[in-house]
Structure 1
Amino acid sequence: MNTQITGGSPHRLGAHPDGDGVNFAVFSANADSIELCLFSEDGSRETARLTLPERTGDIWHGHVAGLFPGALYGYRVHGAYAPERGHRFNPNKLLLDPYTREMHGSWAHNPAILGYDKSSGAGDLSFSAVDSAAFVPRSVVSDPAHFEIIRDHPDTPWEETLIYEAHAKGLTRRHPDVAEAVQGTYEGLASNAIIDHLHRIGVTAIELLPVHSFLNDGFLLDRGLSNYWGYNTIGFFAPEPRYFGPAGIAGFRDMVARFHAAGIEVILDVVYNHTAEGDHRGPTICYRGLDNASYYRLIKGQPRYYVNDTGTGNTVDVSNPYVLRMVLDSLRFWVQNMGVDGFRFDLATTLGRESHGFDPRGGFFDAIRQDPVLAGVKLIAEPWDIGPGGYRLGEYPPPFAEWNDAYRDTVRRFWKGDAHSAQELGARLTGSAGEFDRDGRRSWSSVNFLAAHDGFTLADITAYNRRHNEANKEKNQDGHNANHSDNCGVEGGTDDEDVLERRRRRQRNMMATLFLSQGTPMILAGDETGNSQGGNNNAYCQDNAISWIDWPAADDAMTAFFAELSAFRRAHPAVRQPRFLHAATRSGDGLPDVDWRGFDGGTLNWRDPGLSCLCVTYRGSGEAPEHAVTDDTVFAIFNREEGPAEVSIPGAPAGFEWYVAVDTSRDTPDIDAFSDPEMTVEGPAVVALALRDTGAGPA
């Protein structure tokens, strides 16, 4: 193939058609030269190898005339192969373009993708002369018409948000009302059956586990398993093709459009902290071969090895301006061209690390907060990594929200019966102000959850004392030890109806606690149906019935109760206030915005280690401007004791009366049951009372 290449432009990284051909630009600070490899339509033959003719700063670029969208390509990079100096260039390895939006072909688990000779006694210090092209996909020149700007976004206020964490495949793979052809696909996610279900339970945002293209780890393939969760990213611009349905890549944008039409936001779990290339023994398939020393943090004095703050073998160096640019370009692409409404940043502490350690005013946070495209999207941090000083709950700058694992553990411990847990519960019910009330942050900054993909499901929290991860083939050594779970008397499955009812009651109690807490609630998909993973608390490699939601076995009574709780929260702004409650006196009525009391109506003894019964009254924040004060009031009762308990109810304001809106001792609350000055709470339960006008219908 007689193909001519000219200098082109360095301004846009990636491959961009311009009508006359395609401009290619790629970053590398340490390469000697970079070759652009073109392939036949089916990807089987390399038809041209062209050296990028220009370098502007650290951007290598060239323009190929007569090339059009759909063309297949890759890069080969020449430079020093000196692992002991941090360089791992090897032109025998065909590399993915970091900016590609599509891939052609698939990855093969083969030693050829390693930059070194696996059979050599020198390990990664050896050099592989084997060509890897037969075992890696090709990058694709995308048609810009397929990625036009999307401007329609629901933009749900944080205080009205309910997040539903789901897996792109597992949510629909076993759903009987999703057409078989789209089960487990992007199209299936936004099917009528799923949207109707999300509407029923009041979900406003679906948060998808990673959908950036990723690899299956070699050690998992050797065990006959796969990377189900997807935390092994290789392409930050390309949707993972294993979730494509009949529409292919267009199915992702179609999915987003359908969710938006239904008023549901789409949030992506994104993994910019590491890549699928792993440690020094991993493959050379993209970033390592382009510029290992720029893309990754290497150990000072031993640059053969990688800083491993992520626990995955490598750490992306977001402090490098071109790596940071790639992350920002990726985020903007998913917002503008794919319609995404927000991001949950996996191991976000890693992204905030500078040379001196984690810095909430570091380059990543400065860049993302000043970006006009990202100004209106939801940003959620997983506030930890495994590096030094990695746990940073509450330390992220606004407008970030954060996963609050302290909330998760506190609620589990309280309902399990742990001493001293009630005191902590009080803090969690009011938005974890100790962690988040600073720098103008709001109570929605605390993303409250009972369960997430990583750990037990809600049903398993009440059915297992120990993890049961044998199917992962790691001798049950993987996963969390501190689950704060309680099997209610029997480990695992049982036909004992008393045990089963105790479990269902515990789940209802925990759900009600979540919906009566200030902050942003997030639920794990399937928890509202009683879904179990059989005690597996680390199902990252289980692309099968262990992880797929078992819709045929769904507990409809549990789902209905969940829907009632969600409706109650939507109807009562007192339980979802953006401002923190600090018992500030309200100017309008002289009452505190939050009021704690014991069951006898007296002051709570917060020093009692066995405290297990408490009541709280939520009123509109005393710190809010007059125009923003809610006149809603909710009285909530949390009873952990087994037997019936008498609770003194505060007097209702003139012209109002209390009614029972939530009662976890029943599958469905009886809203016509009115309270007297005292009411009986039946066993371990959560009860919420709301006010209504005398003689009027329920609020």
Structure 2
Amino acid sequence: MNNSKIHPQFEASFGQSFPIGPSFLDGGVNFVIFSKNATAVELLFFDHVEDQKPSTVFKLDKSKNKTYHYWHICVQGVKAGQLYGYRIYGPYIPEKGHRFDSSKVILDPYGKAVDIPKNYDRKALSVFGNDEAPFMKSVIADLSLYDWEGDKHPEKSFSQTVIYELHVGGFTKNPNSGVSADKRGTFKGLIEKIPYLKELGITAVELLPVFQFDVQDAPEGLTNYWGYSPIAFFALHQGYSTDQENPLQVLDDFRDMVKALHREGIEVILDVVFNHTAENKEDGPTYTFRGIDNSIYYLLNGDKSKYKNYSGTGNTLNANQSIIRRMILSSLHFWVRDMHVDGFRFDLASILSRDENGNPIENPPILWDIESDPVFAGTKLIAEAWDAAGLYQVGKFFGDSWKEWNGKFRDDIRGFLRGDQGKVSNFVTRLIGSPDLYESQGKIPEQSINFVTCHDGFTLLDLVSYNKKHNEANRENGRDGENENYSWNFGVEGPTNDPHILSLRRRQMKNFHVVNLLSMGAPMILMGDEVCRSQNGNNNAYCQDNETTWFDWDLVDQNADMLRFVQILIEKRLKRETAHPDFNMSLKDLLNQPLITWHGSQLHQPDWSDNSHSIATTVISINRKMAMHYIFNAYHQDIPFELPRSIGNRKTKWRVWIDTSAESPNDICLWAEAKPIKNGQYLAKAHSTVILMTQLTPN
């Protein structure tokens, strides 16, 4: 075949067209890349990550190294660690959707690792025809060498799941984390904090994006911290590795982390971004799909010179095109089968329901592929059921397997506890599993992923400390981040020394924790909310890789009372004798059981009016042996609530389990320590939540 600069250690043959990507074959590596509109393709080998010139070039013969639209070659003598990339030739005609740039070295979209030169420059890669721009390189990896030591998926049901959303880097980057300096901000660093996660009681970690992303995709002088700027869907982010000189170390670090979490019964859920890439809009860099076959991989406008932008980041992947569908499925297969991941949260998942013209379709091929794939039969699938262009599918997302981030839960809970008018009915609906969204579909309560805060928005402390966002540090002149946060500062914007305001804020945070962790649905907690982490009012800290976003481990001791409060809530939720009827049955069946009674300050007289700011409910366990009485007072005054003296033919002897207005340790207790109430009413303080419990005994 027509080769130039062939290193004597390599011998090439035409290879085969499958499987796509790099794969070990007959003592060598078979390389396959798809490009329909390319006119020529070269495979390039490099000796060092900083090299601008390849050490070996394989020119693929169009008549023999191409089958259909798949370009392929098999090279003998290739070992793990080999650096490589592609040079792809074709037309540069933006108005026809073609943006080939043969001056750029292109990453293999199926490559399992990426190596990044120290002088990498995103801006230089955005200049057409610039062959001096430092570029990333793909790396050959041999996945068969790792010993999983019998590792298995914990396979927790959603009814027994509490999710903890965390950022791999930010979890341990702070010097006060106690993690050794060489492991801070890495997968290995997270391993050292598993005892903390275990003590907290969560059952799954949901990791913000860990696919290789472009840290330079941020305002000048700042860093893309969150990672919603993907470059490769099969490669891990090198910044989370303990060895920046060895691009394959990150694979072992990640697998070690998964294995260690599984040993403690903790599942690993990845936040995945299949809706856009870091190549962004028309003036963005070229390092992958734009240079492989732009018109195939992206949704384009009518004249094809510009990108459709349903992601809000400049471009949108053409997810329902067959080639991209196959890539997404292959990526998910890789993470489940080869990396033992337990689930995925799909960023802006509604984009995946759009066709090639951007229109929503009833049975989206890619979502149906994922839904019906046997590999994912036991995998947690969670959708962020909206996109940046206004498509909102909460309560009606595709399929049977998908659970949904419930944005309505977040907003309605915030609104009610803030004291907004007309929120009591919505609050109750969210509390009992959002039957308005899911009951007609026969869904289980855990269809709803309940959360009050997440990475995108205020932390819990900031939610009760700021009335407006404070994003000046992001250098976007306040244009970024949500303007309506349903937050309330209790009279002072930001930090204060006023003991009354501090007490109310703490009470409100506990209210949010109670509602989030004891409502029907699967709860998610944001990293650090259990110890009152703040981002100083920044509600879009995607570009703040600093102490603004890092977990401050001093808070664990400073706010030990809040940590204890959350720990006990999680523990009771996950036990069979949980504080509400959280059973794996349909919402319709659950709500039709005679187990729930609603009250106001007087028994059986709930106030559903727009002026109501309080509600109470009695919940009976299915076996009729226990009852819980919930009181939610979002009013600015104390309210006495009448209590049931008997339930059916059984007497009640109420004990106080939770009162968020009380100081620790009286705010929550172990059930065996719950103190009895002597009379038939309870005074619920302003902005407080009370939960009473009783064993039901026959009269």
Q: Secondary structure at the match of 1:253?
A: helix
Q: Deviations over 1:498-537 (max 9, x none)?
A: 1111100111111111122101110100000011011111
Q: Which residue number corresponds to residue 126 of structure 2?
A: 114
Q: 1:411 to 1:277 in 2, by over 3 A?
A: same
Q: Which residue number corresponds to residue 467 of structure 2?
A: 465
- For the 8 Å contact 2:371–2:402, the answer to whether it is kept is no
**In structure 2, what is the Cα distance between the partners aligned to 1:37 and 1:176?**
42
Q: CA deviation at 1:553?
A: 3.0
Q: Which amino acid aligns with 2:684?
A: V
Whether 1:238 and 2:240 are equivalent positions in the alignment is no
Q: 1:580 to 1:595 in 2, by over 3 A?
A: farther
Q: 1:224 to 1:630 in 2, by over 3 A?
A: farther
Q: Secondary structure at the match of 1:441?
A: coil
Q: Secondary structure at the match of 1:647?
A: strand
Q: Which residue number corresponds to residue 677 of structure 1?
A: 680
Q: Which residue number corresponds to residue 214 of structure 1?
A: 213
Q: Which amino acid aligns with 2:692?
A: L
**In structure 1, what is the Cα distance between the partners aligned to 2:173 and 2:626?**
42
What pairs with 1:60-459 in structure 2 (closer than 5 Å)? 60-106=71-117, 108-109=120-121, 111-114=123-126, 116=128, 128=129, 130-132=130-132, 135-146=134-145, 152-174=152-174, 175-191=176-192, 194-218=193-217, 220=219, 223-246=220-243, 248-300=250-302, 302-355=303-356, 357-387=359-389, 389-396=390-397, 397-459=399-461
- For the 8 Å contact 2:653–2:695, the answer to whether it is kept is yes
**In structure 1, what is the Cα distance between the partners aligned to 2:67 and 2:516?**
54
Q: Which residue number corresponds to residue 68 of structure 2?
A: 57
- For the 8 Å contact 2:597–2:604, the answer to whether it is kept is no
Q: 1:585 to 1:316 in 2, by over 3 A?
A: closer
Tell which deviates more after alignment, 102-111 or 224-233: 102-111
Q: CA deviation at 1:617?
A: 2.5
Q: Deviations over 1:320-343 (max 9, x none)?
A: 111111101111111111111100
Q: CA deviation at 1:15?
A: 1.1
Q: Which amino acid aligns with 1:684?
A: H
Q: Secondary structure at the match of 1:566?
A: helix
Q: CA deviation at 1:619?
A: 3.9
Q: Which residue number corresponds to residue 532 of structure 1?
A: 534
Q: 1:674 to 1:553 in 2, by over 3 A?
A: same
Q: Deviations over 1:75-123 (max 9, x none)?
A: 011111111100111211100000111122337225542352xxxxxxx
Q: 1:584 to 1:189 in 2, by over 3 A?
A: closer
**In structure 2, what is the Cα distance between the partners aligned to 1:632 and 1:205?**
29
Q: Secondary structure at the match of 1:425?
A: helix
Q: 1:360 to 1:166 in 2, by over 3 A?
A: farther
**In structure 1, what is the Cα distance between the partners aligned to 2:197 and 2:253?**
20
Q: Which amino acid aligns with 2:255?
A: R
* Identical residues among aligned pairs (%): 38
Q: 1:294 to 1:615 in 2, by over 3 A?
A: same
Q: Secondary structure at the match of 2:650?
A: coil
Q: Which amino acid aligns with 1:664?
A: T
- For the 8 Å contact 1:212–1:239, the answer to whether it is kept is yes
Q: Which residue number corresponds to residue 582 of structure 2?
A: 576
**In structure 1, what is the Cα distance between the partners aligned to 2:534 and 2:442?**
39
Q: 1:471 to 1:380 in 2, by over 3 A?
A: same
**In structure 1, what is the Cα distance between the partners aligned to 2:32 and 2:13?**
12
Q: Which residue number corresponds to residue 566 of structure 2?
A: 562
Q: Which residue number corresponds to residue 634 of structure 1?
A: 628
Q: Which amino acid aligns with 2:209?
A: P
Q: Secondary structure at the match of 2:375?
A: coil
**In structure 2, what is the Cα distance between the partners aligned to 1:115 and 1:327?**
29
Q: CA deviation at 1:219?
A: 5.1
**In structure 2, what is the Cα distance between the partners aligned to 1:203 and 1:261?**
14
Q: Deviations over 1:174-232 (max 9, x none)?
A: 243323321211011121xx222222222000001000000034552xx2101000000
Tell which deviates more after alignment, 179-188 or 682-691: 682-691
TM-score normalised by the chain length of structure 1: 0.91
Q: Which amino acid aligns with 1:660?
A: V
What pairs with 1:15-54 in structure 2 (closer than 5 Å)? 15-41=22-48, 44=51, 45-53=53-61, 54=65
**In structure 1, what is the Cα distance between the partners aligned to 2:290 and 2:674?**
65
- For the 8 Å contact 2:394–2:404, the answer to whether it is kept is yes
- For the 8 Å contact 1:228–1:543, the answer to whether it is kept is yes
Q: CA deviation at 1:661?
A: 1.9
Q: Which residue number corresponds to residue 124 of structure 1?
A: none
Q: CA deviation at 1:414?
A: 1.0
Q: 1:507 to 1:386 in 2, by over 3 A?
A: same
Number of residue equivalences: 664
What pairs with 1:498-513 in structure 2 (closer than 5 Å)? 498-513=500-515
Q: Which amino acid aligns with 1:189?
A: L
Structure 1 unpaired stretches of 5+: 117-127, 622-628
Q: Which amino acid aligns with 2:56?
A: A
Structure 2 unpaired stretches of 5+: 1-6, 244-248
- For the 8 Å contact 2:438–2:587, the answer to whether it is kept is no
Q: Secondary structure at the match of 1:190?
A: helix
Indicate the RMSD between aligned Cα atoms, in angstroms.
Answer: 2.2
Q: Secondary structure at the match of 1:235?
A: coil
**In structure 1, what is the Cα distance between the partners aligned to 2:690 and 2:652?**
19
Q: Deviations over 1:532-583 (max 9, x none)?
A: 0111111000000111111213411111111121122123443423335559
- For the 8 Å contact 1:448–1:522, the answer to whether it is kept is yes
Q: Which residue number corresponds to residue 119 of structure 1?
A: none
Q: 1:20 to 1:196 in 2, by over 3 A?
A: closer
Q: Which amino acid aligns with 1:636?
A: Y
Whether 1:12 and 2:6 are equivalent positions in the alignment is no
TM-score normalised by the chain length of structure 2: 0.91
Q: Secondary structure at the match of 2:374?
A: coil
- For the 8 Å contact 2:114–2:235, the answer to whether it is kept is yes
**In structure 1, what is the Cα distance between the partners aligned to 2:69 and 2:625?**
59
